[in-house]
Chain A
C-alpha cells in the first residue's frame, strides 16, 4: 500500500528550483533556512540530553565488561560486591527475568549479559546499581570472574580455518543456509554479464588489494539514559537512540513486559551516525530499575563508549577493472570482506549495500561481485554513516585513478566517460529512474578555482604554521611540503532496502488556540542533530498554511518513524508528515465545504489551498479564515506512509530492485603533504551534491560539510586499533582515537544541485551519507598525487608516507 506525495516533473534543469505542489508562500515553509526549534535550548545549556536526566532517589548503574576477547566464564562471584554499602543490586545472566536473554537488530545473537562465554573485549558481564557512580565502580571491581581464555579468530583466514572456533554454535538464522562457514554472517554475490569474457576485450587491466580501517562514530554525547520504574509494573525509559520502536521491540521481551508497559521517550541525542542503532544501556537500566524499584541512570564515559556501540566494519577489498584504450570500462570483479566482529548487528544489510553499490556510480555491464561479513572476536561492527558503501567507494575510486593512469587519461574525464546517468541499468538489474548527475557533479568540483599555493606565506615572511602540515606542532616552515589534488565520486542508497517494509508514522493535529490556527506534529523520529524537527515544522507550514507549529517530543505513544539512518528521515518521516498534513487539509476543506460551500462556487470547483491561515483558491482568492472553518473543532490524524516497495536481492545472482533512491556527491581534495614527516594538511575539500530539493538549505550545508569531515577523519587519522593477537582494543579514548579538530578541517565549499526525484516528497533526495563516501577517496587521491605512493589503505599514517 504505497501512497506517494505530489510528484514533480522529472528532468528539471540543473540547478533550477523544484516545483513544489503548493503553499510555498507560507512563511517558514520548505525551501527556507528556518532556524532550529531546539536552537535556543541548545545554546543556553537547557536542552536535556540523555546524560542530563536526574531523578530524586535515583541510583547509578554500572556495567562490568570483559577484560578479554574470547573466554569461557567458569564462575562469577558477586557476593562481595553485593555486600558493599550503598549497593542496591548486582545482576548477572542468572538474574535475567525471562527466557528471552538475547537481542539484536536482525539476528537475536547478542546476550544481554554474557552467558558462560564472552566473545569480544568489553562485552557486558554484570551490572551494579548503587547510590553513587564511584560506589558502583568499586563494587564492580569486587566481582570475581574466572575466565578460561579461548583462542581468538580475527580475520577471514583464522575465522574459516579448519577447526576454527565457532563464534556462534548452532546458528539457526536465515543466513546460515547460504554461507560457506558458520563464521560467515552473510554472503551476497552479484553476477551480471560475463566478466571473464569482457576482460578479454580490455586493453588494460588494473587490480588492487585495499584495506579500510575500523572507524568509530565518535558521537560526542555518550550512551546514557534514565529508567524509572512505574506503579503499573512497567518502566519509563528516557534515552538517546536512533529508533525508539526498534529499541522497544528488543527491550520488552527481555524484561518480560508487554510493549505498552515500556514507555520510551527520546531524550536529547548528542549525535548518532549509526552508533545508536543498536541497544547499549537500555535493557541494563530497565533491569536495574525493575529490580531495585528505583530510578536508575547509566552514563558511559568515553572509554566505555568505545565498547558500548558497534563501529564501522573494517574491510579488505580486492578489485579488478579493465578498460579499452578509448577509456570505456569493460568489466569489474571484486571481493569485499567485512569484519562484523562478535555479533551480527547490521552486518547482513551492510553486506547487501557493499555488494550492490560496489560498482560505484559507473556504467559497467559485466561484473562478478562478492561481499561477505565475518563473525570474529573483534569488536562488533554495524551501522555507520555510509553503511557499506563507504568501504567500497574507497576502493573503486582508487581503481578509477589507476585505470586513468594506465590509460594516460585525466582522472575526472575518465570518470565522466563512464559515469552512470538516469536510465542506467545497475548490476542488480535495477534501472536508475531519477536524475543521476555524476558527470555534472565532477565537472562542478573540477571547475572550481584551486586555492592559492603556499598560503602559509601569504601573511608575510614568517610561515604561519597553523596553515601547514603539523599545525601548531611547528614541524615544518614549508620544507618538504608538496601539494596534491584528488577527485572522487560516490553512490549511496537512501532508505531501507532489500524488501524491508520501510514506513513512518505521523500524527498531525490542526486546531485554533487563542484565535490562532496551530499545527501540532507528533512523530517518533529521533532527532539526533540532523534537523528533522526543523523540517517537519516547515512541511506543516507549507501544507497547512499556518505559521505556528508545535513539534511534540518523540516517544512510543505514536507509531514508528523508522530509524534516523540511511539518509531516510526527511524522505520517509518528512513524507509521513506531508501525507498526514495533506489528509488533515482534506478534512479541513470538507468542514469548510460543509459550512461555507453554499456561499461560493469555488468551494466545489477550484483547487483549494491553505495559506496564511486561510482557505484560498489556486488563483489566490480567499474563501474563509481557518479560524472560522475550524472554530473549536480539531482535526487530528495519525497516518503511516511508505515509499515505493523494494525487493530482496537474489541470493545467487544479486538481481532485484533493492533500493528506493540513490544519492550522489563528488569531492575534490587539495592537500599539502610534508613528504619527509608524512604529515598531511587538507587545504580544501570542495563538494558538489545533488539533493533533489533542499527543504532547509542551511541544514543541507551542515549535513554535507559534517559528512565530508567524517570522511576526512578516516582518511588521515581515525582508526580503532585492535591487537591481532588478543583481539583487544588498544586505543579506546579520545587521546588515541583522534577525530578532526577545527585546525584539521579545511574550507568546504559546497555546490548544491536540486534535481527533483519524481518519486520522492517534494522531489527531495536523502543527503546525510553521500558526502561521507567520496571525501575519503578524494583525500587519498590527493595524497597519492602529492607523493606518488600507491596507498591502498586508509587511514594513512605517517609511517605509510615515509616508508617507515
Chain B
C-alpha cells in the first residue's frame, strides 16, 4: 500500500490520473473501517486532508457550493438556514466524533444507499462537481447514483464539491434506526417544498438499491397542491391527499430484507415518515408564508 499526500487539488487530480485505483480518503470514516477490518487493501490511499478548499463552502445566490470534505458538524452549525434538510440529515450521522470528520463527499463517493446525506440532496436538488485532469463536470444528483454502492464517477475523477439549491421553503429529514443515536439507517426520507416553483422533491434512503426520489408521489402531490390551490390558500392539506402521497412514496421503495430490517417494514416506515414530514413542512409553509428563516428544528 502507498500513501499519497497531495498538497493541492491539482496534485490530487494528477495522482488520481496516474493511479486510477487509488482510494480517496478524507474523513476516513468509511475507508478506515474497511482497512481495520481487513475488508479492503487498496494499492494506494489518496489523502485529501491537506487540500483546504475541500473544506470550504460558498453561499451563492441560487446555490451553496459545499466542499466535499466540509464536516457534517459545520453543515449543522453554519448552514441550517440555507440547507435545512441536509443540516438535519447531518445531525443524524453516526456520532459527534464522526460528524467532525465525515463530509458529503464521502457519502457520495461510497454511494451506499444508507448514506445519510443522499435523501436530503435528492430532495433539495443538487449537482455534484467532479474533476479529473481531463476537466471538470457537474453531474445532476438524479444521475449520480448508478447502482448499489456505485456512482457516475470515472476512475480518474474526484469529487470536488456539491452545488446544492438553497432552500426556498421548508425541508425535513428523518431516518429510522433501532437506536436513538449512532445508528445506520434502516431507512430514511427527506422532503423539500419548493414554493418558488410550486413543486416538492423527495429522497428515499436505504430502501432501494440506490438513493431514489419518489417521482410518482412528487407528481401526484404537485398536481394535488396545484389543483387545490393550496400554495395560494395555505390551507391544511386534506388527509386523503397526505395518505395518497405517503402511499406513493412507500410504493417508490424497492427494499430488501437484511439484519437491519425487513423490506416490508422499510416500505411502511418510509410511508409514515413521508406523511409526517408533509405535515411538518406544510405547517411551516402555512405559518411562515413560505419563508426560509425558520425550520421545524426537530433535531436542532
Contacts and interface: CB of A to CB of B under 8 A. Distances in A.
Interface of A: 137, 301, 303, 462-463, 465-466, 469-477, 479-480, 676-679, 681, 716-717, 721, 730-731, 733, 735-736, 738, 740-744, 797-799, 802, 804
Nearest to B89: A474
B118 interface: no
A730 B180 CA distance: 22
A470 B178 contact: no
Q: How large is the interface on B (under 10, 10 to 19, 20 to 34, 35 or more residues)?
A: 35 or more
A716 B184 contact: no
Interface string B70-108: 000000000000000000100110000000000000000
A471 B181 contact: yes
Interface of B: 36-38, 88, 91-92, 172-184, 186, 259-262, 264-265, 267-269, 272-273, 276, 279-280, 296-299
A500 B272 CA distance: 56
A474 B181 contact: no
A802 B276 contact: no
Contact of B259 (A470, A736, A743): A736
Nearest to A477: B298
Given A462-B296, A475-B273, A740-B179, A678 B265 contact: yes
Contacts of A301: 36-37
Given A474-B175, A479-B276, A804-B265, 16 more contacts: A301-B37, A469-B180, A471-B180, A473-B175, A474-B88, A676-B272, A678-B269, A679-B178, A738-B179, A738-B183, A744-B179, A798-B176, A798-B186, A799-B265, A802-B268, A802-B269
Contacts, number: 110
A716 B272 contact: no
Given A303-B37, A730-B259, A799-B262, A475 B175 contact: yes
A660 B262 CA distance: 46
Nearest to A138: B41
Nearest to B300: A462
Contacts of B297: 462
A679 B178 CA distance: 7
Nearest to B35: A134
A804 B261 CA distance: 10
A303 B296 CA distance: 39
A127 B259 CA distance: 31
Contacts of A740: 179
Nearest to B271: A676
Given A473-B92, A474-B298, A736-B259, A677 B176 contact: yes
Given A471-B181, A730-B259, A738-B178, A463 B276 contact: no
A465 B268 contact: no
A731 B259 contact: yes
Nearest to B267: A804
Contact of B174 (A303, A475, A681, A735): A475
Contacts of A741: 179-182
A28 to B, nearest CB: 38
Contacts of A730: 259
A476 B276 contact: yes
A804 B180 contact: no
Contacts of A731: 259
A465 B178 contact: no
A795 B37 CA distance: 27
A465 B297 CA distance: 9
B92 A474 contact: yes
Contacts of A469: 180
B261 A799 contact: yes
Nearest to B283: A477
Nearest to A302: B37
Contacts of B175: 473-475
Contacts of A733: 37
A609 B38 CA distance: 62
A472 B178 contact: no
B173 A474 contact: yes
Given A736-B260, A744-B181, A472 B265 contact: no
27 contacts: A301-B36, A301-B37, A465-B298, A469-B180, A470-B180, A471-B179, A473-B175, A473-B180, A473-B299, A474-B92, A474-B173, A474-B175, A475-B174, A479-B279, A480-B272, A677-B272, A678-B269, A679-B178, A721-B259, A730-B259, A740-B179, A741-B180, A743-B180, A744-B179, A744-B180, A804-B262, A804-B265
A679 B298 contact: no
Contact of B269 (A677, A716, A738): A677
B91 A802 contact: no
B268 A804 contact: yes
B176 A679 contact: yes
Contacts of A735: 184
Contacts of B262: 799, 804
A733 B36 CA distance: 12
Given A477-B296, A741-B182, A472 B91 contact: yes
Contacts of A472: 91-92, 180-181, 299
The 10 closest A-B pairs by CB, nearest first: A471-B180, A804-B265, A743-B181, A474-B298, A804-B264, A474-B299, A743-B180, A799-B265, A475-B174, A473-B175
Contacts of B88: 474
B196 to A, nearest CB: 25
Contact of B176 (A475, A479, A721): A475
Nearest to B41: A138
B276 A473 contact: no
A798 B259 contact: no
Contacts of B178: 679, 716-717, 738, 797-798
